[in-house]
Structure 1
Amino acid sequence: MLTSTAIAAPEQQAAAFMEIYSTHCLKYLHDFDGLRKQLKALPQLPAEKAAMFLQGAKGGAWVMPSQHGQFVLVVHADKNLCALYAKTVPATVAQQMFEKVVGKAPAPFHSERKRNTSEPGPDGVKQTVAYEWSTEKSERKPLFALTTTTSKSSVAQGVATAAIGH
């Protein structure tokens, strides 16, 4: 029993990560004010703790409750950007799930991979994959990115973002 639980845990962690990302960042991609209203029911991180996730930008950060991991959702105030941080997440499984979700765009959009990089570091590998959805006439294009690391010392092993670009 312990073996099956240990094997299932990484997949459950990645599934929880993608579920939170999908139901918040993707669902509210064109309604960030609606997302902020939805998040009012959750405890917001104090400004000093949120600053680490906001990296100089204005906005808010919320701890997302999950039995499968520690997740922080960040919504910027000045730009249409939503990010989800995972303290730990299996890189390969998370990337497979991410690509399944954003790799094929719903009609009338077309999905294009914009980035797929892998950088070895002193304590792990950092990998980033990014997609852009567009139509022939779209000026504002949804952008999706996932950065994972196998580093055990990283603040977050996974960061998934969704934004509206120009």
Structure 2
Amino acid sequence: MRSLAVLFAAAMLLPAMPARAAPADGHTFFIQLFASTCMKHYTHLEGLKDAMAAEHAAELPAEKSGFFLGGQPGKAWVRSDSDGVGYVVSLRDDGICAVFAQKADTVMVEQQFNAIASTSPKPLVAEKLMDQNKMVETGPIHTISYGWSAGKSDNTQLTFTLTTAVSPDAPVQAMASLVRTQKDH
């Protein structure tokens, strides 16, 4: 229970983390959207729903949101950057929050994701959990994952995962997610 309290306390620090100044481009918007939705609201997921409503984000109907929810119950919203490029923010009822980009500069997205996920606010400790390349039907994909926890004695962690696909034929070129999970010991 103590580790859960530490995670929640650290969550209060996330909105206060300094924003990384960068030009207004797709990969920056993607990471900023992930930070301002999934990272900001993970301790109070109803807050994400409220924020999407306040921003008048278009909610996808059930028949279109299934892909972004992995077939699970939840909600998905469409967001656009200043150039009108579309992104999807999804929140499953089981607490998995994700942001999807149909088109992305995968190298830049990976660099920015690594910058925010590889360093945790104190007292949490960041640990790289996965760095895997795979070949799928549409081409190569790369998955990177980090865990934030209160240390070795903590049984839970925040798991940050990014999957990128370089192929323009991929249905999604970038997907970042955040969920609280049990640690593998």
TM class by smaller structure: 0.7 to 0.9
Tell me by how many angstroms 1:121 deviates. 4.4
Could you say which residue in structure 1 is the equivalent of 2:58?
Answer: 43
Question: CA 1:121–1:54 in 2, change beyond 3 Å: closer, same or farther?
Answer: closer
Paired letter, 1:70: G
Secondary structure of the residue aligned to 2:148 is: strand
> Residue 103 of structure 1 aligns to which amino acid in structure 2?
S
Counterpart for residue 105 of structure 1: 120
User: What residue in structure 2 maps to residue 140 of structure 1?
Assistant: 156
Q: Which amino acid counterpart does residue 37 of structure 1 have in structure 2? A: D
Tell me how large the CA RMSD over aligned residues is: 1.8
Percent of pairs identical after alignment? 25
Gaps of 5+ in 2: 1-21
Greater alpha carbon shift after TM alignment, 119-128 vs 68-77: 119-128
**Could you give the per-residue CA deviations for residues 122-142 of structure 1, whole angstroms, max 9, x where no partner exists?**
643200000000113433310
TM-score by length of structure 2 reads 0.79
Does 2:167 match 1:151? yes
Q: Pick from 62, 70, 88: which aligns with 1:72?
A: 88
Name which of 34, 38, 46 aligns with 1:25: 38
Matched, 1:59 2:74: yes
The reply on whether 1:114 has 2:108 as its aligned counterpart is no
**CA 124–102 in structure 1, closer or farther in 2 if over 3 Å, else same:** same
Secondary structure of the 2:46 match is helix
Further displaced range: 135-144 or 95-104: 135-144
Query: Does residue 124 of the first structure (1) align with residue 168 of the second (2)?
Result: no
- The two structures have a TM-score, normalised by structure 1, of 0.88
Partner of 2:110: 95
Report how far residue 120 of structure 1 moved: 3.6
Q: Secondary structure at the match of 2:104?
A: coil
Report what 2:25 is aligned to.
12
What amino acid maps onto 2:28 in structure 1? Answer: A
* Match for residue 82 of structure 1 among 90, 97, 106: 97
- In 1, Cα distance between equivalents of 2:36 and 2:137: 34
CA–CA distance in 2 between the matches of 1:87 and 1:58? Answer: 22
Cα pair distance change 1:47/1:123, threshold 3 Å: closer
**Counterpart residue type for residue 100 of structure 1:** A
Describe the SS at the equivalent of 1:115: strand
The number of residues matched between the two structures is 157
CA distance in 1 between partners of 2:132 and 2:79 (Å): 28
How much does 1:16 deviate? Answer: 0.6
